Amino acid sequence: MEDHTAAVEGFSADVDYAGSGEIPFHFQSPTDGWRTALIDLATGRVNREVPDAAFAIQSPGDGPLVEYRDFDADGAPTTVAGVDRESGTTLWTKPFEAGASISQLQSTDRQPGGFSSTGRGLPTGAFVLVTPRTLTVFDGLTGTVEMTADVSHCAVPAWFWGNGSPLVVLDEVRNSVVLIQGPKTCSVDRFTGAPTPLDDHGGTVVPLFGPSVTYEDPWSPNSPGVGTAYDRRDDRELWSAPVKANEHWLFAGGFLVRQIGNHIESIG
C-alpha cells in the first residue's frame, strides 16, 4: 500500500481502523475541542464532513465497529449501529435515546501483558445498551436481543454519550451482568434479568472484578486506608491489606498489583 501523509491540526489524536477504506480520526483541536475526520487509506484525503464523534469504536479485536448515527438538532445521536470491520456492511441498528449508553460486555479474564486501572476484561461478543430504565444484552454480530432487564430500581444516572462507555462485566460465578459506574454497581441475572444485587461496601473507587473476587481499595491522595477482597458468591471478606496514601490497585497482565507513583508490585 502506498504511504500517505495527512495534516490535521490538533495536539492530541486517536486513530482507529475501519474496513470501509477510511479510518476515523479523532483529534483534539486547541480551539474547538474534540473533532472527527475520516482519512481515505488509498488517497490520504481528509474528509471533515462527518458528525463529530460519529465513529465510536467500542469493540477491540475482531468485533464490529460501533457508530453513532442520525444526530439530532442538538448534536446528539439517535441511533447506534454495528458495522463489519472488513466490508463496512451495517450488521444491526438500535434506537439510542437521550441518556443511554452502549458498552461491550467484558469478561473477568485478562489479556496477558494488559494493563488496566479499571479492570476491563476480554470481549464476550455481546454488547449492552443501557438507559435509566432498562439494560439490554444483545449479540454483537447479529443484534439479536438476548436479555432485557428493568433496572429502574438501580437509579442508573443518565449517561452522556460523548463520555465513551461505562464498564459492564459478565460475572460468571454469579451468572450476572454487572453495570459499574464509579463505585456503584447494578447487577441482574444474565438470562432472566432479575435483580442480583451486590454490596458496594461504601466504596469510593471503581471495584476490580476478578473471576470470583472483587477487590476494593479506598484510594486517597493524602490518607492511608485498608483495601479488601470479597468473594462475590457470598459477599464474604477474604482478606484485607493496608493501603498507603495515593496507592492504587489495578490489574497488570492478570495480576493484582499496587501502584504508588512509579513503583508497582504484586499484592499477595
> Residue 83: in which H helix or E strand, if any?
strand 77-83
- On whether both 28 and 111 belong to a single domain, the answer is no
Domain presence at residue 1: no
What span, in angstroms and rounded, lies between the C-alpha atoms of 17 and 61?
11
**What's the pLDDT at 39?**
73
Domain presence at residue 2: no
- CA separation, residue 237 to residues 43, 231, 232 (Å): 59, 6, 9
pLDDT in tens, 233-252: 999 999 999 999 999 888 88
- On whether both 182 and 260 belong to a single domain, the answer is yes
**What's the pLDDT at 17?**
41
Please give the share of the chain, as a percent, with pLDDT higher than 70: 75
Q: What is the pTM of this model?
A: 0.78
Query: 58: pLDDT confidence band, cut at 50, 70 and 90?
Result: very low
**What's the pLDDT at 185?**
94
- On whether both 26 and 106 belong to a single domain, the answer is no
What span, in angstroms and rounded, lies between the C-alpha atoms of 6 and 50?
17
Range of the domain at 25: 8-50
Handedness of CA 21, 17, 78, 140 (dihedral sign): positive
What span, in angstroms and rounded, lies between the C-alpha atoms of 2 and 267?
48
Q: Which residues are registered as beta bridge partners of 89?
A: none
- On whether both 247 and 208 belong to a single domain, the answer is yes
Domain presence at residue 113: yes
Residue 63's Cα: distance from chain center in Å?
14
- When divided into structural domains, the chain yields a total of 2
